[in-house]
Structure 1
Amino acid sequence: MFSRAESGTTRPNPVWKRIHDDLSSRIYSGEFTEGFPGEVQLAEEYGVSRGTVRQALRPLREAGIIISHRGRAPQVQTTDPWTSSGPVHSLLPPLEGDISRGTTHTTVQRAELNKEAAAHLGVESDTALLHLAWTYHPDGPPISLGHSWIPLRYAEPLTDLDFTHTSVYRELSVVCGISVDGGRETLRAVAADAEEAAALECEPGTPLLAYTRISASGDTPVEYRTGSMLGSAISVTHRF
Protein backbone atom coordinates (compact mmCIF):
# COMPACT_ATOMS: atom_id res chain seq x y z
CA MET A 1 0.00 0.00 0.00
CA PHE A 2 1.32 3.43 -0.96
CA SER A 3 2.17 5.71 1.94
CA ARG A 4 3.69 9.15 2.17
CA ALA A 5 4.57 11.36 5.11
CA GLU A 6 2.07 14.13 5.67
CA SER A 7 3.42 17.65 5.29
CA GLY A 8 1.98 21.09 5.98
CA THR A 9 -1.43 19.93 7.19
CA THR A 10 -2.85 18.34 10.32
CA ARG A 11 -5.65 16.47 8.57
CA PRO A 12 -4.91 13.09 6.95
CA ASN A 13 -5.15 12.85 3.18
CA PRO A 14 -6.90 9.85 1.57
CA VAL A 15 -4.75 7.43 -0.42
CA TRP A 16 -5.91 8.76 -3.80
CA LYS A 17 -4.88 12.31 -2.86
CA ARG A 18 -1.46 11.22 -1.65
CA ILE A 19 -0.96 9.43 -4.96
CA HIS A 20 -2.17 12.53 -6.80
CA ASP A 21 0.31 14.73 -4.92
CA ASP A 22 3.14 12.30 -5.56
CA LEU A 23 2.33 12.17 -9.28
CA SER A 24 2.14 15.98 -9.37
CA SER A 25 5.61 16.19 -7.86
CA ARG A 26 6.95 13.67 -10.36
CA ILE A 27 5.32 15.53 -13.26
CA TYR A 28 6.78 18.87 -12.18
CA SER A 29 10.23 17.29 -11.85
CA GLY A 30 10.06 16.28 -15.52
CA GLU A 31 9.91 12.53 -14.94
CA PHE A 32 7.25 11.79 -17.58
CA THR A 33 8.49 13.81 -20.56
CA GLU A 34 8.71 10.63 -22.68
CA GLY A 35 5.20 9.45 -21.85
CA PHE A 36 2.84 8.84 -18.94
CA PRO A 37 2.08 5.35 -17.56
CA GLY A 38 -1.38 3.82 -17.89
CA GLU A 39 -3.80 3.14 -15.05
CA VAL A 40 -2.89 -0.55 -14.76
CA GLN A 41 0.82 0.23 -14.47
CA LEU A 42 0.20 2.94 -11.86
CA ALA A 43 -2.09 0.65 -9.86
CA GLU A 44 0.66 -1.97 -9.74
CA GLU A 45 3.33 0.62 -8.88
CA TYR A 46 1.38 2.13 -5.98
CA GLY A 47 -0.23 -1.11 -4.84
CA VAL A 48 -3.79 0.18 -5.07
CA SER A 49 -6.91 -0.50 -7.13
CA ARG A 50 -7.44 0.96 -10.57
CA GLY A 51 -10.37 2.94 -9.19
CA THR A 52 -8.08 4.67 -6.69
CA VAL A 53 -5.71 5.53 -9.53
CA ARG A 54 -8.61 7.03 -11.52
CA GLN A 55 -9.48 9.22 -8.52
CA ALA A 56 -5.88 10.38 -8.29
CA LEU A 57 -5.72 11.17 -12.01
CA ARG A 58 -9.10 12.92 -12.28
CA PRO A 59 -7.92 16.41 -11.12
CA LEU A 60 -4.87 16.14 -13.42
CA ARG A 61 -7.06 15.22 -16.37
CA GLU A 62 -9.65 17.91 -15.66
CA ALA A 63 -6.89 20.53 -15.38
CA GLY A 64 -5.47 19.43 -18.74
CA ILE A 65 -2.18 18.25 -17.26
CA ILE A 66 -2.73 14.63 -18.35
CA ILE A 67 -4.13 14.27 -21.88
CA SER A 68 -5.62 10.94 -22.95
CA HIS A 69 -6.97 9.81 -26.32
CA ARG A 70 -8.51 6.46 -27.17
CA GLY A 71 -5.89 4.14 -28.60
CA ARG A 72 -2.97 6.34 -27.55
CA ALA A 73 -0.73 6.41 -24.50
CA PRO A 74 -1.47 9.28 -22.04
CA GLN A 75 0.71 12.37 -22.37
CA VAL A 76 1.74 15.13 -19.97
CA GLN A 77 0.90 18.68 -21.03
CA THR A 78 4.31 20.29 -21.56
CA THR A 79 3.18 23.81 -20.65
CA ASP A 80 2.19 24.58 -17.09
CA PRO A 81 -1.60 25.07 -16.73
CA TRP A 82 -1.20 25.85 -13.01
CA THR A 83 0.51 29.19 -13.37
CA SER A 84 0.54 32.04 -10.90
CA SER A 85 -2.53 33.36 -12.70
CA GLY A 86 -4.49 30.15 -12.19
CA PRO A 87 -5.68 27.16 -14.18
CA VAL A 88 -8.27 28.73 -16.52
CA HIS A 89 -6.35 31.73 -17.84
CA SER A 90 -4.02 31.53 -20.82
CA LEU A 91 -1.86 34.09 -22.59
CA LEU A 92 -2.71 35.33 -26.06
CA PRO A 93 -0.11 35.65 -28.87
CA PRO A 94 2.64 36.70 -28.85
CA LEU A 95 2.83 35.69 -25.18
CA GLU A 96 1.46 32.16 -25.49
CA GLY A 97 3.66 29.12 -24.99
CA ASP A 98 5.65 27.97 -22.00
CA ILE A 99 4.82 30.76 -19.57
CA SER A 100 6.86 29.06 -16.87
CA ARG A 101 9.78 30.84 -18.54
CA GLY A 102 8.48 34.11 -17.15
CA THR A 103 9.19 35.45 -13.69
CA THR A 104 7.10 36.29 -10.65
CA HIS A 105 8.10 39.35 -8.65
CA THR A 106 6.89 38.88 -5.07
CA THR A 107 6.04 42.16 -3.33
CA VAL A 108 4.46 40.79 -0.12
CA GLN A 109 5.27 37.52 1.67
CA ARG A 110 4.29 37.55 5.32
CA ALA A 111 2.01 36.12 7.98
CA GLU A 112 -0.86 38.41 8.94
CA LEU A 113 -4.47 38.64 10.07
CA ASN A 114 -7.09 39.63 7.49
CA LYS A 115 -10.75 39.53 8.49
CA GLU A 116 -12.09 39.72 4.92
CA ALA A 117 -9.88 36.90 3.67
CA ALA A 118 -10.66 34.81 6.77
CA ALA A 119 -14.38 35.24 6.16
CA HIS A 120 -14.03 34.05 2.55
CA LEU A 121 -12.03 31.04 3.75
CA GLY A 122 -14.57 30.21 6.45
CA VAL A 123 -12.05 30.43 9.31
CA GLU A 124 -11.94 32.50 12.50
CA SER A 125 -10.96 36.15 12.07
CA ASP A 126 -7.88 35.66 14.26
CA THR A 127 -6.54 32.81 12.09
CA ALA A 128 -2.98 33.48 10.93
CA LEU A 129 -2.79 33.68 7.12
CA LEU A 130 0.12 33.71 4.71
CA HIS A 131 -0.30 36.77 2.46
CA LEU A 132 1.45 36.68 -0.91
CA ALA A 133 1.34 39.53 -3.44
CA TRP A 134 3.07 39.52 -6.81
CA THR A 135 3.31 40.73 -10.38
CA TYR A 136 3.90 38.27 -13.22
CA HIS A 137 6.29 39.11 -16.06
CA PRO A 138 6.27 36.69 -19.05
CA ASP A 139 9.14 38.48 -20.81
CA GLY A 140 9.37 42.16 -20.02
CA PRO A 141 6.62 44.33 -18.49
CA PRO A 142 4.13 42.71 -16.10
CA ILE A 143 0.79 41.45 -17.39
CA SER A 144 -0.90 40.45 -14.11
CA LEU A 145 -0.92 41.09 -10.39
CA GLY A 146 -2.40 39.13 -7.54
CA HIS A 147 -2.91 38.71 -3.81
CA SER A 148 -3.27 35.32 -2.14
CA TRP A 149 -4.19 34.43 1.45
CA ILE A 150 -3.71 30.87 2.74
CA PRO A 151 -4.15 29.63 6.33
CA LEU A 152 -0.65 29.52 7.79
CA ARG A 153 -1.24 26.03 9.20
CA TYR A 154 -1.27 24.81 5.58
CA ALA A 155 1.30 27.16 4.05
CA GLU A 156 3.95 27.72 6.71
CA PRO A 157 6.65 25.96 4.59
CA LEU A 158 6.07 28.65 1.92
CA THR A 159 6.83 31.66 4.10
CA ASP A 160 10.45 31.90 2.90
CA LEU A 161 10.14 30.17 -0.48
CA ASP A 162 11.36 31.91 -3.66
CA PHE A 163 8.43 32.14 -6.11
CA THR A 164 10.42 33.72 -8.96
CA HIS A 165 10.08 30.69 -11.23
CA THR A 166 7.23 28.73 -9.66
CA SER A 167 3.59 29.09 -8.63
CA VAL A 168 1.52 28.93 -5.48
CA TYR A 169 -0.44 25.83 -6.54
CA ARG A 170 2.65 23.93 -7.57
CA GLU A 171 4.37 24.57 -4.23
CA LEU A 172 1.23 23.85 -2.21
CA SER A 173 1.17 20.44 -3.87
CA VAL A 174 4.88 19.63 -3.90
CA VAL A 175 6.02 21.25 -0.62
CA CYS A 176 2.89 21.18 1.53
CA GLY A 177 1.16 18.07 0.17
CA ILE A 178 -2.07 19.99 -0.52
CA SER A 179 -3.57 19.69 -3.99
CA VAL A 180 -5.93 22.38 -5.27
CA ASP A 181 -8.59 20.41 -7.11
CA GLY A 182 -11.59 22.72 -7.15
CA GLY A 183 -13.06 26.06 -6.17
CA ARG A 184 -15.00 28.95 -7.62
CA GLU A 185 -14.01 32.13 -9.39
CA THR A 186 -15.69 35.37 -10.43
CA LEU A 187 -14.36 37.39 -13.38
CA ARG A 188 -15.30 40.94 -14.34
CA ALA A 189 -14.07 43.58 -16.74
CA VAL A 190 -12.67 46.71 -15.07
CA ALA A 191 -10.60 49.76 -15.93
CA ALA A 192 -7.18 50.05 -14.29
CA ASP A 193 -7.11 52.49 -11.39
CA ALA A 194 -3.99 54.48 -10.54
CA GLU A 195 -2.53 51.79 -8.26
CA GLU A 196 -3.12 48.97 -10.75
CA ALA A 197 -1.76 51.08 -13.61
CA ALA A 198 1.45 51.74 -11.66
CA ALA A 199 1.92 48.04 -10.83
CA LEU A 200 1.19 46.89 -14.39
CA GLU A 201 3.06 49.77 -16.05
CA CYS A 202 0.03 50.77 -18.10
CA GLU A 203 -2.17 53.85 -18.44
CA PRO A 204 -5.03 54.42 -15.97
CA GLY A 205 -8.24 53.25 -17.60
CA THR A 206 -6.57 50.36 -19.44
CA PRO A 207 -9.00 47.39 -19.74
CA LEU A 208 -8.29 44.67 -17.19
CA LEU A 209 -9.84 41.34 -16.31
CA ALA A 210 -10.25 41.23 -12.52
CA TYR A 211 -11.00 38.09 -10.55
CA THR A 212 -11.74 36.80 -7.07
CA ARG A 213 -11.17 33.13 -6.35
CA ILE A 214 -11.67 30.56 -3.61
CA SER A 215 -9.44 27.54 -4.20
CA ALA A 216 -10.24 24.28 -2.43
CA SER A 217 -8.68 20.94 -1.62
CA GLY A 218 -11.60 18.55 -1.58
CA ASP A 219 -14.31 20.38 0.35
CA THR A 220 -11.88 22.59 2.30
CA PRO A 221 -11.13 26.16 1.15
CA VAL A 222 -7.35 26.62 1.24
CA GLU A 223 -6.80 29.92 -0.59
CA TYR A 224 -8.55 33.24 -1.17
CA ARG A 225 -7.15 35.16 -4.14
CA THR A 226 -7.80 38.44 -5.90
CA GLY A 227 -6.04 39.82 -8.94
CA SER A 228 -6.11 41.67 -12.26
CA MET A 229 -4.72 40.90 -15.71
CA LEU A 230 -4.23 43.02 -18.82
CA GLY A 231 -7.25 42.34 -21.03
CA SER A 232 -5.09 42.35 -24.17
CA ALA A 233 -2.92 39.48 -22.90
CA ILE A 234 -5.50 37.05 -21.49
CA SER A 235 -8.06 34.59 -22.81
CA VAL A 236 -10.41 32.53 -20.64
CA THR A 237 -11.63 29.04 -21.52
CA HIS A 238 -14.28 27.10 -19.64
CA ARG A 239 -15.30 23.50 -20.31
CA PHE A 240 -19.03 22.78 -20.36
Structure 2
Amino acid sequence: MSGHLSYRVTGHLSISTVTAMTSRPLDRDADLPLWQQLQRDLVTRLEAGEFADKFPGELALVHDYGVSRHTVRQALARLRADGLIVAGRGRQPKVATAPEIHQPLGALYSMFASVEAAGLDQHSTVRTLDIRADALIAERLGLEGSTPMVFLERVRHAGDEPLAVDRVWLPAALARPVLDADFRHTALYRELEDRTGIVVSRGREEIRAVVPTAGERRLLGCGRDAAALSITRLGYTTDGPVEWRHTIVRGDRFALTAEYSAGAYRLTS
Protein backbone atom coordinates (compact mmCIF):
# COMPACT_ATOMS: atom_id res chain seq x y z
CA MET A 1 0.00 0.00 0.00
CA SER A 2 1.40 3.33 -0.93
CA GLY A 3 0.32 6.82 -0.04
CA HIS A 4 1.52 10.13 1.21
CA LEU A 5 0.82 12.57 3.94
CA SER A 6 0.11 16.19 3.19
CA TYR A 7 -0.06 19.23 5.44
CA ARG A 8 -1.95 22.40 4.80
CA VAL A 9 -1.00 25.64 6.49
CA THR A 10 -4.23 27.38 7.39
CA GLY A 11 -2.86 30.42 9.18
CA HIS A 12 0.04 32.80 9.16
CA LEU A 13 2.39 34.48 11.58
CA SER A 14 2.44 38.24 11.56
CA ILE A 15 5.67 40.23 11.77
CA SER A 16 4.72 41.34 15.26
CA THR A 17 4.23 37.71 16.32
CA VAL A 18 7.65 36.71 14.98
CA THR A 19 9.23 39.68 16.72
CA ALA A 20 7.59 38.75 20.02
CA MET A 21 8.89 35.19 19.65
CA THR A 22 12.47 36.15 18.89
CA SER A 23 13.27 39.48 20.54
CA ARG A 24 14.74 40.09 23.98
CA PRO A 25 12.37 42.01 26.26
CA LEU A 26 12.52 45.80 26.38
CA ASP A 27 9.91 47.77 28.28
CA ARG A 28 8.24 50.22 25.91
CA ASP A 29 6.25 51.75 28.77
CA ALA A 30 9.31 52.55 30.89
CA ASP A 31 10.67 56.05 31.39
CA LEU A 32 14.10 54.85 30.26
CA PRO A 33 14.52 55.25 26.46
CA LEU A 34 14.71 52.06 24.42
CA TRP A 35 18.26 52.76 23.27
CA GLN A 36 19.41 53.07 26.88
CA GLN A 37 17.62 49.84 27.87
CA LEU A 38 19.34 48.15 24.94
CA GLN A 39 22.72 49.60 25.91
CA ARG A 40 22.35 48.38 29.50
CA ASP A 41 21.32 44.89 28.41
CA LEU A 42 24.28 44.69 26.05
CA VAL A 43 26.63 45.75 28.87
CA THR A 44 25.20 42.97 31.04
CA ARG A 45 25.77 40.46 28.26
CA LEU A 46 29.29 41.78 27.64
CA GLU A 47 30.18 41.42 31.32
CA ALA A 48 28.86 37.86 31.26
CA GLY A 49 31.23 37.05 28.41
CA GLU A 50 28.41 36.30 26.01
CA PHE A 51 30.15 38.00 23.08
CA ALA A 52 33.60 36.47 23.56
CA ASP A 53 33.58 34.99 20.05
CA LYS A 54 31.67 37.62 18.10
CA PHE A 55 29.68 40.78 18.74
CA PRO A 56 26.37 40.97 16.81
CA GLY A 57 25.95 43.45 13.97
CA GLU A 58 23.30 46.15 13.70
CA LEU A 59 20.77 44.05 11.76
CA ALA A 60 21.09 41.14 14.18
CA LEU A 61 20.39 43.47 17.11
CA VAL A 62 17.41 45.00 15.30
CA HIS A 63 16.01 41.50 14.90
CA ASP A 64 16.90 40.25 18.39
CA TYR A 65 15.42 43.24 20.22
CA GLY A 66 12.61 44.22 17.86
CA VAL A 67 13.76 47.85 17.68
CA SER A 68 14.69 50.27 14.94
CA ARG A 69 18.15 50.59 13.46
CA HIS A 70 18.31 54.13 14.85
CA THR A 71 17.80 52.77 18.38
CA VAL A 72 20.55 50.19 17.85
CA ARG A 73 22.95 52.84 16.57
CA GLN A 74 22.32 55.05 19.61
CA ALA A 75 23.11 52.14 21.93
CA LEU A 76 26.24 51.17 20.00
CA ALA A 77 27.44 54.77 20.00
CA ARG A 78 27.33 54.80 23.81
CA LEU A 79 29.18 51.47 23.99
CA ARG A 80 31.88 52.88 21.71
CA ALA A 81 32.11 56.08 23.77
CA ASP A 82 32.55 53.96 26.91
CA GLY A 83 35.35 51.99 25.24
CA LEU A 84 33.47 48.67 25.40
CA ILE A 85 33.35 48.03 21.66
CA VAL A 86 35.19 49.29 18.61
CA ALA A 87 33.57 49.74 15.22
CA GLY A 88 33.87 51.87 12.13
CA ARG A 89 31.39 52.88 9.47
CA GLY A 90 30.23 49.79 7.62
CA ARG A 91 32.32 47.48 9.82
CA GLN A 92 31.20 44.77 12.22
CA PRO A 93 31.44 45.89 15.88
CA LYS A 94 33.82 43.91 18.05
CA VAL A 95 34.50 43.76 21.75
CA ALA A 96 37.31 46.11 22.80
CA THR A 97 40.27 44.32 24.31
CA ALA A 98 41.78 45.52 27.57
CA PRO A 99 45.01 47.52 27.18
CA GLU A 100 48.12 45.42 27.69
CA ILE A 101 50.52 48.18 28.77
CA HIS A 102 49.80 50.49 31.69
CA GLN A 103 51.79 53.62 32.37
CA PRO A 104 51.70 55.69 35.59
CA LEU A 105 50.84 59.36 35.51
CA GLY A 106 53.08 61.74 37.40
CA ALA A 107 56.24 59.68 36.92
CA LEU A 108 59.12 59.94 34.47
CA TYR A 109 58.50 56.57 32.90
CA SER A 110 60.32 54.43 30.34
CA MET A 111 58.10 52.85 27.70
CA PHE A 112 60.83 50.23 27.28
CA ALA A 113 60.48 49.20 30.93
CA SER A 114 56.66 49.31 30.89
CA VAL A 115 56.41 47.01 27.89
CA GLU A 116 58.79 44.49 29.43
CA ALA A 117 56.93 44.75 32.76
CA ALA A 118 53.82 43.61 30.86
CA GLY A 119 55.70 40.45 29.88
CA LEU A 120 56.04 41.47 26.24
CA ASP A 121 59.13 41.63 24.06
CA GLN A 122 60.15 45.24 23.41
CA HIS A 123 61.84 46.11 20.15
CA SER A 124 61.91 49.04 17.75
CA THR A 125 62.18 49.74 14.07
CA VAL A 126 64.46 52.75 13.70
CA ARG A 127 63.20 54.97 10.88
CA THR A 128 65.55 57.92 11.35
CA LEU A 129 68.64 58.69 13.45
CA ASP A 130 70.48 61.80 12.31
CA ILE A 131 71.34 65.42 13.04
CA ARG A 132 69.08 68.21 11.81
CA ALA A 133 67.80 71.65 12.74
CA ASP A 134 64.21 72.39 13.74
CA ALA A 135 63.47 75.96 14.81
CA LEU A 136 60.20 75.12 16.59
CA ILE A 137 61.72 72.32 18.66
CA ALA A 138 64.80 74.40 19.42
CA GLU A 139 62.56 77.15 20.76
CA ARG A 140 60.84 74.68 23.06
CA LEU A 141 64.24 73.71 24.43
CA GLY A 142 65.25 77.35 24.85
CA LEU A 143 67.81 77.16 22.04
CA GLU A 144 68.58 79.24 18.95
CA GLY A 145 66.56 78.10 15.92
CA SER A 146 69.48 76.76 13.86
CA THR A 147 70.93 74.67 16.71
CA PRO A 148 71.87 71.16 15.47
CA MET A 149 69.71 68.46 17.06
CA VAL A 150 69.90 64.69 17.27
CA PHE A 151 66.61 63.36 15.88
CA LEU A 152 65.45 59.80 16.55
CA GLU A 153 62.23 58.34 15.11
CA ARG A 154 61.20 54.81 16.01
CA VAL A 155 58.19 52.55 15.69
CA ARG A 156 58.00 50.90 19.11
CA HIS A 157 56.72 47.30 19.17
CA ALA A 158 55.23 45.37 22.08
CA GLY A 159 55.25 41.70 21.23
CA ASP A 160 54.44 41.11 17.58
CA GLU A 161 52.44 44.31 17.03
CA PRO A 162 53.35 48.00 16.81
CA LEU A 163 52.53 50.10 19.85
CA ALA A 164 53.77 53.64 19.23
CA VAL A 165 55.48 56.05 16.88
CA ASP A 166 58.12 57.83 18.96
CA ARG A 167 60.02 60.97 17.88
CA VAL A 168 62.74 62.55 20.04
CA TRP A 169 64.92 65.66 19.64
CA LEU A 170 68.06 66.31 21.75
CA PRO A 171 70.72 69.05 21.43
CA ALA A 172 73.54 67.58 19.32
CA ALA A 173 76.17 69.33 21.43
CA LEU A 174 75.13 67.06 24.32
CA ALA A 175 73.70 63.95 22.69
CA ARG A 176 75.88 63.34 19.59
CA PRO A 177 77.38 60.10 21.05
CA VAL A 178 73.97 58.36 20.95
CA LEU A 179 74.23 58.33 17.14
CA ASP A 180 76.31 55.17 17.59
CA ALA A 181 73.67 53.37 19.67
CA ASP A 182 71.56 50.50 18.33
CA PHE A 183 68.03 51.52 19.26
CA ARG A 184 66.36 48.34 18.05
CA HIS A 185 66.34 46.99 21.63
CA THR A 186 67.43 49.59 24.12
CA ALA A 187 66.12 52.59 26.02
CA LEU A 188 67.09 56.15 25.06
CA TYR A 189 67.62 57.30 28.64
CA ARG A 190 69.91 54.35 29.31
CA GLU A 191 72.03 55.11 26.24
CA LEU A 192 72.05 58.82 27.02
CA GLU A 193 73.34 58.22 30.52
CA ASP A 194 75.88 55.54 29.53
CA ARG A 195 77.33 57.48 26.58
CA THR A 196 77.12 61.09 27.80
CA GLY A 197 76.50 61.04 31.56
CA ILE A 198 73.27 62.99 31.05
CA VAL A 199 70.40 61.95 33.33
CA VAL A 200 66.87 63.11 32.53
CA SER A 201 65.52 63.60 36.03
CA ARG A 202 62.10 65.19 35.53
CA GLY A 203 59.68 66.17 32.83
CA ARG A 204 56.44 67.81 31.85
CA GLU A 205 53.89 66.00 29.69
CA GLU A 206 50.74 66.91 27.82
CA ILE A 207 48.40 64.08 26.84
CA ARG A 208 45.44 64.32 24.50
CA ALA A 209 43.25 62.02 22.44
CA VAL A 210 43.85 62.26 18.68
CA VAL A 211 42.93 60.62 15.40
CA PRO A 212 46.19 59.30 13.89
CA THR A 213 47.18 60.54 10.45
CA ALA A 214 47.07 58.13 7.51
CA GLY A 215 50.83 57.67 7.76
CA GLU A 216 50.68 57.01 11.49
CA ARG A 217 47.86 54.49 11.02
CA ARG A 218 50.00 52.66 8.49
CA LEU A 219 52.96 52.53 10.88
CA LEU A 220 50.76 51.48 13.81
CA GLY A 221 48.81 48.90 11.82
CA CYS A 222 45.41 50.25 12.83
CA GLY A 223 42.23 51.24 10.97
CA ARG A 224 40.51 54.54 10.33
CA ASP A 225 38.36 54.22 13.44
CA ALA A 226 41.38 53.75 15.73
CA ALA A 227 41.89 56.04 18.69
CA ALA A 228 45.32 57.12 19.85
CA LEU A 229 47.00 59.16 22.54
CA SER A 230 49.34 62.00 21.66
CA ILE A 231 51.98 62.48 24.38
CA THR A 232 54.41 65.38 24.26
CA ARG A 233 57.20 65.52 26.81
CA LEU A 234 59.72 68.17 27.76
CA GLY A 235 62.50 66.38 29.66
CA TYR A 236 64.89 68.15 32.03
CA THR A 237 68.24 67.56 33.65
CA THR A 238 69.27 69.54 36.71
CA ASP A 239 70.64 72.17 34.31
CA GLY A 240 67.48 72.66 32.24
CA PRO A 241 65.50 71.23 29.30
CA VAL A 242 67.32 68.65 27.18
CA GLU A 243 64.65 66.53 25.45
CA TRP A 244 61.54 67.16 23.38
CA ARG A 245 59.53 64.04 22.61
CA HIS A 246 56.31 63.39 20.73
CA THR A 247 54.75 59.93 20.91
CA ILE A 248 51.61 58.60 19.21
CA VAL A 249 50.39 55.51 21.09
CA ARG A 250 47.68 53.06 20.09
CA GLY A 251 44.72 53.55 22.42
CA ASP A 252 43.69 49.89 22.28
CA ARG A 253 47.02 48.69 23.70
CA PHE A 254 47.99 51.41 26.15
CA ALA A 255 46.41 52.95 29.25
CA LEU A 256 47.46 55.66 31.68
CA THR A 257 46.84 55.01 35.36
CA ALA A 258 46.80 57.26 38.41
CA GLU A 259 46.52 56.73 42.15
CA TYR A 260 44.85 59.41 44.22
CA SER A 261 43.49 60.16 47.67
CA ALA A 262 41.67 63.00 49.34
CA GLY A 263 44.95 64.18 50.86
CA ALA A 264 45.25 67.93 50.63
CA TYR A 265 42.22 68.22 48.34
CA ARG A 266 38.62 68.69 49.26
CA LEU A 267 36.43 66.33 47.26
CA THR A 268 33.29 68.05 45.96
CA SER A 269 31.96 65.47 43.52
Same-fold status (TM-score > 0.5): yes
* Identity of matched residues, %: 30
The Cα of 1:220 is off from its aligned counterpart by: 0.9
CA contact (8 A) 1:117 1:224 kept: yes
Give unmatched runs, 5+ long, in structure 2.
Answer: 1-105, 261-269
Give 1:139's aligned residue. Answer: 159
Give 2:130's aligned residue. Answer: 110
Which amino acid counterpart does residue 83 of structure 1 have in structure 2?
M
Give 1:229's aligned residue. Answer: 249
4+ residue runs of structure 1 moved beyond 6 angstroms? none
Q: Within the alignment, does 1:197 sit opposite 2:217 as a pair? A: yes
The Cα of 1:106 is off from its aligned counterpart by: 0.8
Q: Within the alignment, does 1:97 sit opposite 2:106 as a pair? A: no
Equivalenced residue count is 155
Give 2:194's aligned residue. Answer: 174
Q: 2: distance between equivalents of 1:216 and 1:121?
A: 9
Give unmatched runs, 5+ long, in structure 1.
Answer: 1-61, 65-80
The Cα of 1:82 is off from its aligned counterpart by: 2.1
Q: 1: distance between equivalents of 2:243 and 2:161?
A: 27
Higher relative contact order (CA 8 A, sep 6+): 1
The Cα of 1:126 is off from its aligned counterpart by: 1.2
Q: 1: distance between equivalents of 2:152 and 2:188?
A: 9
Flag the structure with larger Rg.
Answer: 2
Cα shift readout 1:121-159 (whole Å, capped 9, x = no counterpart): 110111110000001111112011111000001111111
Map residues 1-240 of structure 1 onto 2, 5 A cutoff: 81-84=109-112, 90=114, 97-99=118-120, 101-238=121-258
After superposition, the Cα gap between the structure-2 partners of 1:187 and 1:139, relative to the gap in structure 1 and judged at 3 Å, is same
TM-score w.r.t. length of structure 2: 0.53
Which amino acid counterpart does residue 221 of structure 2 have in structure 1?
E
Q: 1: distance between equivalents of 2:234 and 2:259?
A: 18
Cα shift readout 1:107-133 (whole Å, capped 9, x = no counterpart): 010000001110111101111100000
